[in-house]
Amino acid sequence: MREIVSYAWQSIVNEGSKGASIRKIASLANMTPGQIRYYFPVHSELLKAVMDKVTHKVRKRIEVILKDESLLVTDRVVSSLLAVIPLDEERYADMVVWMAFNYELHLQNGPVVEDDIELLIKKCMELFKQEKLLNEKVDEKLLITRTYAMIDGIAMHILFKKGNIDHDIVETLIRKEIDSWIK
């Protein structure tokens, strides 16, 4: 079953939302659509399994960064926010899958999946609060919205113009945003 999820992930990475079809996934996996449906009778169950794989991987990536006490708090926060931006092939592929999954949900009039970015930003703010570094004068709701919009905007820009954004500029933008949070 994990292999089917991996093939589905690869099919979506290769072809976007078009690659989410059972026929495309079965072709890539050298299986019949019936074999795929045996394990995933409902197409949305397979897509959810793929999305769960991506979500687990991204959360694990962030968890490792946030727990790395060899890094300064500011560096952990910047690195964790950069971890959700598609700056390398793996993160790019994860973003393609996330977008395809949400597109399929949209076509089915389903709810858009939470992408946990808001929770990540809140967790980063809590780290600063624990270290007594968060500027108490900041409007937290505005800060969360602004940071979320920046991350989403950068991610979409990279997704649609692959390779046309300098990674150092992205890190500088995120770092400047984080600097605005602290005393």
Q: What is the pLDDT of residue 82?
A: 96
pLDDT over 80 at 70, yes or no: yes
Q: What is the pLDDT of residue 114?
A: 65
At 111 the pLDDT is 65
| Least confident piece of the model among 54-58, 101-105, 130-134, 140-144 | 101-105
For the chain, the average pLDDT equals 89
For position 117, which CATH number holds? 1.10.357.10
pLDDT tens, position by position, 143-179: 999 999 999 999 999 988 876 788 899 999 999 999 9
Q: Which long-range contacts (CB under 8 A, 24 or more apart) does 156-163 make?
A: 158/85, 158/86, 158/87, 158/92, 158/95, 159/86, 159/92, 159/95, 159/96, 159/99, 162/92
13 pLDDT band (50/70/90 cuts)? confident
Q: Where do runs of H (alpha helix) occur along the chain? A: 2-15, 22-29, 33-39, 43-67, 73-82, 89-107, 117-130, 140-160, 167-179
pLDDT of residue 163: 63
- What's the one-letter identity of residue 137? K
Residue 54 token pair: 């991506």
What's residue 100's pLDDT? 80
The token pair at 2 is: 């994990």
Q: What is the pLDDT of residues 119-135, one digit of tens each?
A: 999 999 999 999 999 99
User: Structural domain tally of the chain?
Assistant: 1
Q: What's the domain range around 36?
A: 2-179
- Higher-pLDDT residue of 102, 170: 170
Which residues are CB-neighbours of 122 under 8 A, at least 6 positions away? 144
What's this model's pTM, rounded to 2 decimal places?
0.85
